[in-house]
């Protein structure tokens, strides 16, 4: 799929310095740019790569313009403009194509331009709004609702009565609305607590491959507008994930956790259940959230990487901290008594 420099400029909203009819065949990184492609620069430290680029068109700031040897688009935020430009080069499925092997319940409502892949299953009373794309092997349980122009990729399972907003992207293998991990212990046996809520997902949400979002036990599990979830994330039952939150791969959020807006989470982070997190919080990778976070800001936990011998010594000392603390308090007491005499 080719686009002209003029089309790209109009789409991203910048100033073109070059030929508007220039044909662009795709995108490439500045460090390994290819002829005929679009690239971008976000920092002055990459100017050496810029001056030797083989790309045909560059997105950049005005301050980098004089160093660019090829046609370019001047914008205030190159990374944002690049993100918008990538949408021009995706391969979209043919709208309105329904594979003959798709299984569609007669009570389902299929909107205009909906596409359904091979062996997709659409349950009783499902509502698919205009422009939805449902991939091969997708299973949509009874009563599922999916908003306009949403994309559900191959082999996704969405359990009964879950609701997905507009322009959602759900990647392969994701499971939406499975039972939460709820059991009552009675006489040393685990008794299942049936999960009676659902999952409600807002607009412009993206859910990564093999991510699982459990349905609520009583109330619903809620994913607000603009949330971005990476691959292989676990969201427990009754969680509420605030708008425009981004969570990196392999994080696990235990049940009934309430996360505020504009929350950014590094990979492999874990949350104890029944916690609350304020708006505008950032957590580094491998953090362990054991209590409520009431104030915005950056937080970290875990032990950063260090040479093994150094780590071994530090870990040994860590185990001695309690004993060292008791000795220190004893010494402080004795010193106080000596001063008193």
- Give catalytic residues, as residue numbers: 237
Tell me the C-alpha distance between 149 and 31, whole Å.
Answer: 34
Residue position matching structure tokens 């609350």: 276
What is the spatial distance between Cα 337 and Cα 341, in angstroms, rounded to a whole number? 6
- Three-state SS annotation for 171-228: CCCCEEEECCCCEEEECCEEEECCCCCCEEECCCCEECCCCEEECCCCCCEEECCCCE
Phi, psi (rounded to 5 degrees) for 253: -110, 110
Q: Which two tokens stand for residue 336?
A: 């106080």
235 Cβ neighbours under 8 A, 6+ residues apart: 211, 212, 213, 214, 221, 223, 229, 241, 253
- Distance in angstroms (rounded) separating the CA atoms of residues 79 and 97: 34
């Amino acid at each position: 799929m080719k686009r002209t420099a003029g089309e790209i400029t109009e789409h991203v909203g910048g100033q073109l310095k070059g030929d508007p009819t220039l044909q662009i065949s795709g995108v490439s990184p500045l460090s390994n740019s290819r002829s005929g492609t679009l690239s971008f620069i976000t920092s002055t430290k990459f100017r050496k790569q810029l001056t030797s680029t083989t790309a045909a068109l560059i997105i950049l700031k005005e301050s980098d313009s004089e160093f660019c040897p090829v046609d370019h688009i001047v914008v205030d935020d190159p990374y944002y403009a690049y993100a918008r430009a990538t949408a021009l080069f995706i391969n979209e499925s043919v709208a309105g194509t329904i594979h003959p092997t798709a299984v569609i319940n007669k009570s389902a409502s299929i909107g205009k331009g909906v596409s359904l892949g091979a062996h997709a299953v659409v349950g009783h009373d499902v509502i698919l709004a205009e422009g939805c794309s449902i991939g091969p092997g997708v299973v949509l349980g009874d009563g599922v609702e999916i908003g306009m122009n949403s994309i559900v990729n191959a082999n996704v399972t969405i359990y009964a009565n879950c609701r997905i907003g507009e322009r959602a992207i759900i990647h392969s293998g994701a499971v939406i609305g499975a039972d939460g991990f709820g059991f009552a212990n009675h006489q040393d046996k685990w008794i299942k607590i049936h999960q009676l809520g659902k999952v409600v997902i807002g607009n412009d949400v993206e859910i990564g491959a093999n991510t699982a979002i459990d349905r609520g036990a009583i109330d619903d599990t809620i994913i607000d507008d603009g949330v971005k979830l990476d691959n292989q994330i676990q969201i427990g039952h009754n969680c509420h994930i605030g708008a425009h939150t981004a969570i990196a791969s392999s994080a696990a959020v235990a049940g009934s956790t309430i996360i505020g807006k504009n929350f950014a989470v590094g990979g492999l982070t874990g949350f104890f259940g029944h916690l609350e997190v304020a708006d505008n919080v950032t957590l580094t990778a491998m953090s362990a959230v054991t209590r409520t976070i009431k104030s915005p800001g950056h937080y970290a936990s875990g032990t950063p990487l260090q040479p093994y011998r150094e780590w071994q010594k530090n870990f040994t000392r860590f185990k001695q901290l309690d004993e060292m603390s008791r000795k220190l308090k004893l010494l402080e007491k004795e010193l106080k008594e000596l001063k008193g005499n």
